[in-house]
Structure 1
């Protein structure tokens, strides 16, 4: 009697399910969504080493075993970028044995086992987990053809070629701070770790589950230590069970071409922020095409974060590894210097595009080069995307004395952008760093400029005493160095301080100081600064009820600012003038003019100016029951309307002595006139 072959029960080759999985509910739900689709289902779960790819795959497959009555097969591919055909045949041999094929019936010819495996599993509802894959062709050789099969692949690479086989991508992200904290606390139990120590640990782990778990395990074995004395999880001299953490990224690093590794190491030398690829290309002294090709390789192994085409950064978890490799190689040691200079050049060009009225301290810095941005609006968009990189590189430069000159120049260049966005705290911090850098360079004029910029931020935020201290320091330098631009600006700042403290009249009042500022600016050939002083003096005159004088000043200032194309200062002159127009029966004319200037402000994306104009326009809307005055469309018998097409201003008592014409003063800008 012939013995009947025993049909084995469905094999489940999975390793144990992870005992703890935190913060992956969305990823598990995504796997459910993919598995519920009709036809063969293939998903690549990718991410950097230690992100938890295998843990997610195992938890999902274990929790859904009932979906796969035909079993679940598992294979860990070779620990490197390449496996041979012979190794693939070994893996298929294991699959066939698990499915009940006697070893003697497994085909021996290379490549035939894949066909035997597909024939045996045709129509079978089962799953396959291919762990640690490196090449798409290795996965492809192990794919079943069953319409009811689900194949889950884990890899540090995204294996983009598998998209041709219908693969879906699931890229795992770092844990959120809350989930990382939960994982650490649960792993460290029963040890109770102080919250400050937990914060320090999580900051250096960067949301990497493996790092968090290793740190928690260390706390359990040495519960009396502190975060200050604990070694980070990527310390290269680790030994024992955690020795592999220092080399956890080795396989992915070795899998990319050697030229690409240079960019990986170089990015480790730069601040942890998103970078402009054009700036990086200049810093690396390569073409943008070469850089983008390298980025494709780094993105494929999940080393690169690209939120959009104009911003790239290393994934935070791999940056310490990249920096360690950079230090070991010694290559590109001056990359930060090249980067800050390339970045400063772009900042300077954009700042000049959005605010062309302030020359740099060094004449060479104002030399026109190739156009960087097509429009001021493009420059503002660039600043919105990359200002974090500017502030981040400034923070690193502040710790490197060799970068002092570059640091204060960067702080000077940011001015134009700051005027339109007014991010006071960040700008003030940058200026204080620039101030110390200028001192170290023994450049008194740059030091005074940094005082004035920092003092302006203090004044705008109501820190009057701090602003006054900066002003007095700048004035002392200006008098010592006999710097006309510094002293002219100091007069304006004295007026601002007096105005903020309520001293409007008298020899030390705001009006008197504005008069000195106006005269000083005309004296040094800076009519724009003088007209800004006239506009501020008009504001004080309005506060004193002297509108007859104020409206004349505002008309002259508005004409001048429109002639030189200064939208921000034009708006500041028109807003108080529009208020007077509205109160004297010209509400519609005032509204129309402000709307025209608002369109110009929107074109250059000046948030500060847009807000000023929108607030003024809202104030012009009549309240319910309001009626316009009947016969006050003139002010003291003179027309208060401001024509849409402004003409050259008539000479006044301030510019009767053949001052330069407004239309030729576009190059005129008060070096330190800070508003």
Structure 2
């Protein structure tokens, strides 16, 4: 009798595939086009980290290697008790176990924000080398790509301040010897049902560890009795111990007895060291703050008025404080040494929620810091957003030129400040400020190209509401159009049509109405209604030609703007126009885009190739589609590549070359599966099934 097959692998390999039956064809791993070195995102632990070794040992036991499934540890404890530092320390000691990367996500800053986990997944995928066009626009698509990439790898994922179990589940990597370390900021007990999850309680610092911590920060020996009294008054809260120690170090002339007196006054200690998160550190922060100079106090006050809950740049702080950059940097370093804030990158700082709340309570905004923060982010958002797509023209048409010169790295700045810009948008909406409308228009090209669909939806929803309240029908209509694209990208076509139709009805400006009609035509085409799409896109072309006649002046910029609008209208109409009339439309579009806009030139070739297949011009169509595929490959447009591969499959099938058709459809299906393009992937797989595989 033959030996029975063993379901085991004994050896070493980068990847192992288990097959339950016959395997035909190839096995494909969809890696980034330009893989990056293993990320190392987890912050380093504090230099003077101390804690009970039992907690670190418990984490090691829960995360011991083996088992084939990622293990999860949730560290739980009182606010300010050192949960994050404990996790950072463990990762630092065991980083060698995770050669494929250390990933970090802070989640409590986004409590209640839609799409946060999706944004984190996108950041993880960017960190390993995927480019923006390779990353799906949907959360499910990003989760699938993250699972695919992480499967079989050894990585550590730190999820800081998780407030919901679903956040942890969405960031958990695929099968393999990986670890997920979570600090609990909300109830996560439901994770127990998942299996492979352990909870490690973090007790207050033991007296021995607390003595070591304070003595290490202060840098000198303290009276043992006074030291023990300080520790008793702090009840082992790490954040309170650090604040007291930093104050003692910065003001050696102030005896520890003074601190003890402050914390021992009637009712003060209970407020300072109660288990209520807001009150557990307030007096300690006040004591530290009393020892700060004027400049650090001004910068500390700014943290309380900052609109975002994430990182704050040096430039933003300087604008809010109306101080020189060097002065603010020096003051921020004082705050870092006092452990009130910490660095988060080059000239970027992060303050925890308790610090921000304390700063806000101590320094009511009677100095205009919040207003100056808003003005800073608004000016930069408009300038940098305009720089992403200068030819769009809506800012100039509706408000005039940008108010500030953009930087050379507009994309980098917009990406780094995305969370803060969302916060500013929320504040502007709450205040009913019409500046939100200008911000929404400026940011749309960035949201569109990066496929930040959730931002596109929320910010333009709020902008349309504000514009309506200010009786700005054209701006409200443009915001509706911009929001409609969020629903189009999600595949919610009926909602997109509804928004585009509402925009067309509400607008009083012909350019906005034409844009709404054009957008509606594109969605009708997506829905498979060529007759309705043709009607809308014919109206759009007529409107574009009329606008050029009526609005164009002697300025060359105006001439180019209307010529571009006509070229786009020709391309879109050619995609659905009768075969006898579409070729001239494509030629008109190419005459404008060739040599000017490579992506739109490739799109015209793609549509001319598709229509050529419909008309039986198979050789010419194949040449157009091949040229479009080469261009989109060079431009890094993955979704467009998948579309064109399907078009080439249809072309090959039309001439009876079924092997070539299968090859094209199979390549398209693989691209779609790797990137989460579900709708297009279904089309490719259905075509493959129709050809017998």
Q: TM-score, normalised by structure 1?
A: 0.53
Distance verdict in 2 for CA 1:59–1:578, change over 3 Å: farther
**1:335 maps to 2:369:** yes
1:252, distance to aligned residue in structure 2 (A): 2.9
Instruction: Tell me if structure 1 keeps the 8 A contact 2:272–2:281.
Output: no
Query: Aligned equivalents of 2:536 and 2:401: distance in 1?
Result: 34
Structure 1 range deviating more: 550-559 or 410-419: 550-559
1:321, distance to aligned residue in structure 2 (A): 0.7
**1:413 maps to 2:448:** no
Query: Aligned equivalents of 1:94 and 1:431: distance in 2?
Result: 56
1:349, distance to aligned residue in structure 2 (A): 1.8
Query: Aligned equivalents of 1:451 and 1:566: distance in 2?
Result: 26
Distance verdict in 2 for CA 1:130–1:495, change over 3 Å: closer
SS at match of 1:312: strand
Query: Aligned equivalents of 2:522 and 2:213: distance in 1?
Result: 74
Residue correspondence of structure 1 range 152-191 to structure 2 within 5 A: none
Residue correspondence of structure 1 range 652-667 to structure 2 within 5 A: none
Deviation readout 1:168-213 (Å, 9 max, x if unpaired): xxxxxxxxxxxxxxxxxxxxxxxxxxxxxxxxxxxxxxxxxx9999
Instruction: Tell me if structure 1 keeps the 8 A contact 2:500–2:517.
Output: no
Among candidates 325, 333, 337, match of residue 296 of structure 1: 333
Distance verdict in 2 for CA 1:292–1:567, change over 3 Å: farther
SS at match of 2:302: helix
Residue 133 of structure 1 is matched in structure 2 by 245
Residue 202 of structure 1 is matched in structure 2 by none
1:286, distance to aligned residue in structure 2 (A): 2.7
Distance verdict in 2 for CA 1:456–1:61, change over 3 Å: closer
Among candidates 450, 463, 485, match of residue 511 of structure 2: 485
Distance verdict in 2 for CA 1:618–1:267, change over 3 Å: farther
Query: Aligned equivalents of 2:427 and 2:283: distance in 1?
Result: 27
1:434, distance to aligned residue in structure 2 (A): 0.7
SS at match of 2:391: coil
Structure 1 range deviating more: 530-539 or 485-494: 485-494
Residue 516 of structure 1 is matched in structure 2 by 539
More helix by share: 2
**1:387 maps to 2:418:** yes
Residue correspondence of structure 1 range 118-517 to structure 2 within 5 A: 132-134=244-246, 214-215=274-275, 233-234=277-278, 245-271=281-307, 272-309=309-346, 311-327=348-364, 330-332=365-367, 334-360=368-394, 363=397, 365-367=399-401, 371-374=405-408, 378-401=409-432, 404-478=433-507, 481=508, 483-505=509-531, 509-517=532-540
Distance verdict in 2 for CA 1:18–1:288, change over 3 Å: same
Query: Aligned equivalents of 2:298 and 2:425: distance in 1?
Result: 24
SS at match of 1:347: helix
Instruction: Tell me if structure 2 keeps the 8 A contact 1:521–1:530.
Output: yes
Instruction: Tell me if structure 1 keeps the 8 A contact 2:537–2:572.
Output: yes
Structure 2: gaps (5+ residues): 1-49, 56-74, 78-82, 95-184, 186-201, 229-240, 254-258, 260-269, 549-561, 658-693
Query: Aligned equivalents of 2:471 and 2:360: distance in 1?
Result: 33
Query: Aligned equivalents of 2:225 and 2:366: distance in 1?
Result: 44
Query: Aligned equivalents of 1:512 and 1:131: distance in 2?
Result: 69
1:426, distance to aligned residue in structure 2 (A): 2.1
Distance verdict in 2 for CA 1:396–1:450, change over 3 Å: same
Distance verdict in 2 for CA 1:342–1:365, change over 3 Å: farther
Query: Aligned equivalents of 2:473 and 2:446: distance in 1?
Result: 24
Residue 636 of structure 1 is matched in structure 2 by none
1:611, distance to aligned residue in structure 2 (A): 2.7
1:417, distance to aligned residue in structure 2 (A): 0.8
Q: TM-score, normalised by structure 2?
A: 0.52
Deviation readout 1:541-579 (Å, 9 max, x if unpaired): 4xx7x3x6445533432341245x444433432333466
SS at match of 1:286: coil
Instruction: Tell me if structure 1 keeps the 8 A contact 2:481–2:500.
Output: yes
Instruction: Tell me if structure 2 keeps the 8 A contact 1:571–1:613.
Output: no
Query: Aligned equivalents of 1:130 and 1:538: distance in 2?
Result: 68
Residue 641 of structure 1 is matched in structure 2 by none
Query: Aligned equivalents of 1:367 and 1:131: distance in 2?
Result: 48
Instruction: Tell me if structure 1 keeps the 8 A contact 2:386–2:395.
Output: no
Distance verdict in 2 for CA 1:626–1:439, change over 3 Å: closer
